[in-house]
Amino acid sequence: MINFQYARANDVADAVRQIAADPTAKFIAGGTNLIDLMKYDVERPLRLIDITRLPLKTVEETAAGGLRIGALVPNSDLAYHPLIEQRYPLLSSAILAGASQQLRNMASTGGNLLQRTRCFYFYDTATPCNKREPGSGCSAIEGINRINAILGTSEACIATHPSDMCVALAALEATVHVAGPSGERAMAFADFHRLPGDTPQLDNNLQPNEIVTSVELPAKGFKANYSYLKIRDRLSYAFALVSVAAALELEGGRIKEARLALGGVAHKPWRKPEAEAALRGEAADEQSFAKAADLLLRDAKGFEHNAFKIGLARRAVVRTLTQAAKGTPQSQADKRVR
Ligand SMILES: Cc1cc2nc3c(=O)[nH]c(=O)nc-3n(C[C@H](O)[C@H](O)[C@H](O)COP(=O)(O)OP(=O)(O)OC[C@H]3O[C@@H](n4cnc5c(N)ncnc54)[C@H](O)[C@@H]3O)c2cc1C
Ligand code: SF4
C-alpha cells in the first residue's frame, strides 16, 4: 500500500499554487487513467489534487465564432452537446468511438488529452520501459509491438497516443489553453503532444506546474463532409490500431480544403501538411485520396508485429476520405447508443 494525500482545489489559481508547491503531486479529474496507473504502480503521486470542482465545465461560444470547451467537460456531455453535434460532428463521432459510455461519463476533456500510452510494457513494471523509467530501455522495439507506432518513432520509444478525441481535435486545429504560475498561455493543438525523441517520458509540452483550462475550436467545423473511422481488434471498448479523422470542404466536386489526421500510429495525432496540400484543388476521388494517403504515410516504418498497420492505414485513409466526400459519416450509428 502506497499512501498518498488528497486535497481539493478551490479555483484555478489555487490548483496552480498547489501543483507548483509539490512536484510529487498530480491533478485528478475523472480518474479513469490515473487511478489505473496508480494501481499498476506505474505512477506514484504522493498527493492528488482534485480539480473536479473547478468551474471548467461549460461549452461557450467565442467571439471568433468558435467554441471554448472547459477542461472538465465530461466526454459524454461534449459528444452530445447540441453545438458540437451540429457544428463539429467529427469531434462528436471521434469521442463516441472511444472507451465505453460509463468511462465517457467520467472522463474529462483535459484528462483525455493527458491520458498515457497503452503500450503493454509501460504498464508492466517488471520490464524495462524508457517512458516509465528513463534510461532503462524499450521492451517494445524487440517485443510484442502490434499496437505500437509506425510514424515518428525513436530508438528510445515506439509508443502511440491512445486518444480518439485528440485525433479529431488535431484535424479541427483546436487550441489548448493552459494556466501556470506565470499566467495563461495557448498552444496550437499540433504543438501540445510531443514525439518521443530521446525524452519519451514527456508526452506533451504542458509544464509540471500548469493546468489545462480549456480547448478552443475555431469557427470552421466541416459539418457537411467529415468522417471518423476507427479500426480495432474488437468492435467496441478497444483502442484504435489505426484511426482516421477526415474533413473536407468541397466546391463543385473539387476539394477546397482538406484535413487529415491519423490515430493509433504515432506518439501524437499524425498530420502532414503536404498530404492535405496535395488534395487542395483536386477532384474528390479515389486517385487523389490514394495520393494523399501515400504522402501521409511516406515515412512509415513497421516493426516485427505492426508492419500491417502501414497498408491498413493507407486503406483506411482512402475509405475515410471517400466517406467524408459522400457526406455519409460511418460513426453516425454510434450516436444512437446513449
Ligand atoms: C478500459 C478503458 C478503455 C478506454 N478506451 C479508450 C478509447 O477507446 N479511446 C480513448 O480515446 N480513450 C479511451 N480510454 C481513455 C479515457 O478516455 C481516458 O482515461 C480519459 O479520457 C482520461 O480522463 P480523466 O478525466 O479520467 O483523466 P484522469 O485519469 O483524472 O487524469 C489523467 C491525467 O491527466 C491529468 N489531468 C487531468 N486533467 C487535467 C487538467 N485539466 N490539467 C492538467 N492535467 C490534467 C492527470 O493528472 C493525469 O495525469 C479508455 C480508458 C479505459 C480505462
Ligand atoms: S514503446 Fe515506449 S512506452 Fe513502450 S516499452 Fe518502449 S519506451 Fe516504454
| Alpha-carbon 104 to chain mean position | 14
**Measured at the alpha carbon of residue 72, what is the angle toward residues 179 and 120, in degrees to the nearest 5?**
95
- Residues contacting ligand 2 via CB (< 6 Å): 117, 119, 121-122, 129-131, 138-140, 148, 157-159, 200
- Residue 177: predicted pLDDT: 98
Q: Classify residue 8 by its DSSP letter.
A: E
| Alpha-carbon 122 to chain mean position | 18
- Residue that has been written with the C-alpha cell 501521409 in this structure: 296
Dihedral angle at the C-alpha atoms of 130, 51, 171, 238, nearest 10 degrees?
Answer: 60
Please give the distance, rounded to the nearest whole angstrom, from the Cα atom of residue 48 to the centre of ligand 1: 15
User: Which contacts of 271-278 are long-range, i.e. CB under 8 A and separated by 24 or more positions?
Assistant: 271/170, 271/171, 271/190, 271/296, 272/296, 272/298
- Residues contacting ligand 1 via CB (< 6 Å): 26-34, 36, 51, 71, 98-99, 103, 106-108, 110-112, 114-115, 162-165, 211-212, 239
pLDDT along the chain (338 residues), means of 10: 94 98 97 97 98 98 98 98 98 97 98 98 98 98 98 98 98 98 98 98 98 99 97 92 98 96 98 98 98 98 98 98 87 45
H or E segment at 95? helix 89-96
Sign of the torsion angle spanned by Cα atoms 19, 22, 24, 30: negative
H or E segment at 66? none
Q: What are phi and psi of 106, to 5 degrees?
A: -90, -40
| Cβ 228 vs Cβ 94: under 8 Å | yes
- Residue 336: predicted pLDDT: 43
CA 170/CA 188 separation, integer angstroms: 9
Ligand 2 atom at minimal distance to the Cα of residue 156? 7
CA 296/CA 262 separation, integer angstroms: 9
Ligand closest to 132 (CA) is 2
- Residue 175: predicted pLDDT: 99
